[in-house]
Amino acid sequence: MQTLSLHGNELKYLDIGHGPAVILIHGLLGSHHNWEPQIDTLSQRYRVIVPDLFGHGESDKPAGDYSISSHAATVRDLLHSLDITSATFVGHSLGGGIAMQTLYLFPELVERMVLIASGGLGPEVSPLLRAATLPGSEFVLPLMANRTVRGLTDLAIDRLDKLGLPLMSASSSEAWRSFGSVQDAGTRRAFLATARSVISFRGQTISATPHFANFPNIQAMLVWGARDSIIPNSHTENARAELPHGRVEIFERAGHFPHLDNPDRFDRIFTEFMRDCEAGASRPHLVAEA
């Protein structure tokens, strides 16, 4: 991975391919690994930028500001350092919220958005994430993610997979892998700071939908899994009412990581979306298929 030094901290990122710029922004506890199928396919047609946000993956995990505005500023600084004046923003979960915050704060950077199971479109969110914002959760999380518990679970998953009885979908497997990173103290601190900046015990505390009126011509596609247990796909309706040029795609047999559950379909609809945007067309419609 490449390295950018920002304010004395190292931000790790990938910069692969040539063509129009596309930036892929992962979610809470995620990293560039959440985008592996997309990196392979999109880099054949685009210049693909994939950061590990501060507090995540291989980037530094300093004590400090982990609000979505701070993450949006980091994305801006990364793009400026690469002489990229605008890009297509693709954000998953928290990354979708960061994409929308970037549009609000630095609108010249955002050509269009693809929001995948995005935060910031409604209050509902997993009870586990709400509980993680409670006082004392910093002491409980490492117990839940300790090596013994994870080792036994990984062993059971592996044996069932070898028997042809997969216990987890791609979505569940990726969520489980991401959760394991809270064993690291720096990651855990960043996770709690980020989560508490956007979530309370009552649910998500930040909504981007009121700002959409400021950007009536923004081209956007929302992608969701019908089986998402983290953020419900009903949030597409909240956004759809405010995005006249929006396109909604529901993956019927997918969870919180629809781009991993069905990467071929994601590649197809992303290609269609980009083609329509570049042609100046808008296709506000709802598509639901496996």
pLDDT of residue 171: 56
Q: Identify the three-state secondary structure at position 199.
A: strand
Same domain for 110 and 56? Answer: yes
**Contact between residue 103 and residue 218 where contact means Cβ atoms under 8 Å apart:** yes
| Residue where a domain terminates, one of 199, 221, 240 | 199
Same domain for 33 and 81? Answer: yes
Expressed as residue numbers, the domain containing 162 is 127-199
CA dihedral 286, 256, 97, 79 (to 10 degrees): -100
Low-confidence ranges of the chain (pLDDT < 70): 137-181, 281-290
- Chain segment 222-249, per-residue pLDDT in tens: 999 999 999 999 999 988 888 877 899 9
Same domain for 115 and 133? Answer: no
**Contact between residue 238 and residue 122 where contact means Cβ atoms under 8 Å apart:** yes
Residue 67 known to be catalytic = no
Beta partners for residue 115, in sequence order:
91, 222
Q: Which of 26, 56, 178, 228 is catalytic?
A: 228
Residue 60 known to be catalytic = no
Task: Select from 64, 260, 268 the least CA-distant residue to 173.
Answer: 260
Q: What is the DSSP letter of 91?
A: E
Same domain for 44 and 89? Answer: yes
pLDDT of residue 175: 58
Task: Select from 264, 267, 285 the least CA-distant residue to 90.
Answer: 267
Same domain for 27 and 110? Answer: yes
Q: Which of 26, 71, 92, 256 is catalytic?
A: 256
Same domain for 145 and 245? Answer: no
Start-to-end C-alpha separation, the chain: 34
- HSE on the CB side for 229, CA within 13 Å? 7
pLDDT of residue 245: 76
pLDDT of residue 283: 43
Same domain for 7 and 81? Answer: yes
Helix (H) or strand (E) holding 112: strand 110-116
Same domain for 133 and 211? Answer: no
Residue 256 known to be catalytic = yes
**Contact between residue 23 and residue 90 where contact means Cβ atoms under 8 Å apart:** yes
Domain count, the chain: 2
Helices (runs of H) and strands (runs of E) counted in the chain: 11, 11
The span from the CA of 212 to the CA of 54, in Å, is 27
Instruction: Name residue, tokens 């990581």.
Output: 257
Q: Find the CATH number of the domain harbouring 72.
A: 3.40.50.1820
pLDDT of residue 172: 57
| Residue where a domain terminates, one of 199, 226, 251 | 199
Same domain for 27 and 102? Answer: yes
Beta partners for residue 203, in sequence order:
200
**Contact between residue 201 and residue 134 where contact means Cβ atoms under 8 Å apart:** yes
| Residue where a domain terminates, one of 167, 199, 231 | 199
Cβ within 8 Å of residue 123, ≥6 positions away:
202, 203, 204, 205, 207
Same domain for 66 and 143? Answer: no
Q: Which of 43, 93, 169, 172 is catalytic?
A: 93
- Chain segment 168-218, per-residue pLDDT in tens: 456 556 655 656 667 788 888 899 999 999 999 999 999 999 889 899 889
The span from the CA of 239 to the CA of 223, in Å, is 12
Same domain for 148 and 52? Answer: no
pLDDT of residue 282: 47
User: Exposure of 264 by Cβ count < 10 A (0-12 exposed, 13-18 middle, 19+ buried)?
Assistant: exposed
Same domain for 85 and 220? Answer: yes
